[in-house]
């Protein structure tokens, strides 16, 4: 009984090993088949991906070429700009220099215009002064013509008259010659206080002689202007006045100021004889 059991187990072990080997082979075959199928399936995809990669590489190459071309263009443009910037800078500097020169020229012209205007103003003032002198001379000529006519019609000695008065100007210190006939001898004088004097039957009046502003009287005892004259000499035919007292141009009558006005009428009276002229510039 004990010797028959080993003979029965040997065939069973052989069967099991054959089955295992068969199963292993089948698995290997299946794996190989699966791998082949997978490779067959994947290869077209890999080929498509390769084509895509090749296409993309081509595009990249084209883009690189384009980039190189663009960079070349940029470099050329930069070179052009650099050259033109130098030219433009030079032109700008030149134009700025021209503008500065023109501005300086304009300033010089404006200064010249100002000088011309000042010169014109000075000439106009000179013309005005000459017109005053012409008017004064015309008045003197008229007065002299009247005296000449009177003398021509007279066979007797000349009557008292003022025949000429030198120009009277708008300054205190001046010499005034009064020429004529019948002035008489030097009258008694009254000292005003500054060395100037007042006299009877004599006065020099500006304007209407009302006593203040540009209407004053000087050298007369019948007025209270406190303006005297400096008497240098007095004869029957000539009186010489050395100017006006210091009160002319200062406060008088408490709050009134007496002063010259160029172009105003000014009248000399001697013993009721009168001579009217106009005030000349200084």
Task: Give tens-digit pLDDT for 62-71.
Answer: 889 988 998 9
Domain enclosing residue 211, as ranges? 159-278
Total domain count, the chain = 2
CA-based nearest residue to 197, from 172, 218, 166: 218
Q: Are residues 253 and 214 in the same domain?
A: yes
Q: Are residues 176 and 260 in the same domain?
A: yes
48 located within any domain:
no
Q: Are residues 176 and 139 in the same domain?
A: no
Residue 265: half-sphere exposure toward Cβ, Cα within 13 Å:
10
> Given pLDDT bands bounded at 50, 70 and 90, which one contains residue 83?
confident
Confidence (pTM): 0.49
Q: Which residues are within 8 A (CB) of 199 and not within 5 positions of it... i.e. 6 or more apart?
A: 187, 188, 189, 190, 219, 220, 221, 231
DSSP per-residue string spanning 138-152: HHHHHHHHHHHHHHH
Per-residue model confidence (pLDDT) at position 249: 77
124 located within any domain:
yes
Q: Which residues are within 8 A (CB) of 182 and not within 5 positions of it... i.e. 6 or more apart?
A: 158, 159, 160, 161, 236, 271, 273
87 located within any domain:
yes
117 located within any domain:
yes
164 located within any domain:
yes
What is the mean predicted confidence (pLDDT) over 166-185? 96
Q: Are residues 178 and 151 in the same domain?
A: no
b (16+ CB within 10 A) / e for 192-231:
beeebbbbeebbbbbbebebbebbbbbbbbebebbbbbbb
Is the pLDDT at 133 greater than 70? The verdict is: yes
> Given pLDDT bands bounded at 50, 70 and 90, which one contains residue 253?
very low
> Given pLDDT bands bounded at 50, 70 and 90, which one contains residue 252?
very low
Q: Are residues 197 and 244 in the same domain?
A: yes
Residue finishing a domain among 106, 128, 156? 156
Question: What percent of the chain has a predicted confidence (pLDDT) above 70?
Answer: 87
Q: Are residues 167 and 133 in the same domain?
A: no
Residue finishing a domain among 123, 156, 189? 156
Is the pLDDT at 254 greater than 50? The verdict is: no
């Amino acid at each position: 009984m004990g010797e028959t059991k080993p003979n029965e187990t040997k065939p069973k072990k052989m069967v099991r090993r054959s089955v295992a080997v068969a199963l292993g082979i089948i698995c290997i075959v299946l794996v190989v088949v699966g791998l082949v199928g997978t490779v067959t399936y994947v290869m077209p995809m890999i080929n498509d991906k390769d084509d895509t990669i090749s296409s993309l590489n081509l595009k990249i190459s084209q883009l690189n070429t384009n980039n190189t071309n663009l960079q070349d263009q940029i470099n050329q443009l930069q070179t052009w700009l650099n050259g033109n910037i130098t030219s433009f800078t030079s032109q700008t500097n030149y134009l700025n220099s021209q503008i500065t020169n023109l501005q300086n020229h304009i300033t010089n012209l404006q200064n010249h215009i100002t000088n011309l205007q000042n010169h014109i103003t000075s000439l106009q003032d000179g013309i005005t002064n000459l017109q005053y002198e012409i008017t004064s001379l015309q008045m003197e000529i008229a007065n002299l013509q009247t005296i000449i006519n009177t003398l021509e019609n007279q066979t007797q000695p000349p009557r008292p008259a003022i025949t000429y008065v030198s120009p009277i100007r708008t300054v205190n210190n001046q010499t005034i010659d009064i020429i004529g006939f019948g002035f008489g001898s030097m009258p008694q004088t009254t000292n005003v206080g500054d060395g100037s004097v007042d006299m009877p039957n004599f006065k020099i009046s500006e304007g209407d002689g009302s006593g203040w502003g540009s209407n004053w009287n000087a050298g007369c005892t019948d007025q209270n202007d406190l303006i005297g004259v400096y008497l240098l000499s007095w004869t029957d035919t000539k009186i010489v006045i050395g100017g006006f007292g210091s009160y002319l141009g200062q406060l008088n009558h408490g709050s009134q100021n007496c002063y010259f006005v160029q172009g105003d009428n000014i009248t000399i009276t001697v013993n009721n004889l009168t001579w009217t002229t106009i005030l000349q510039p200084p």
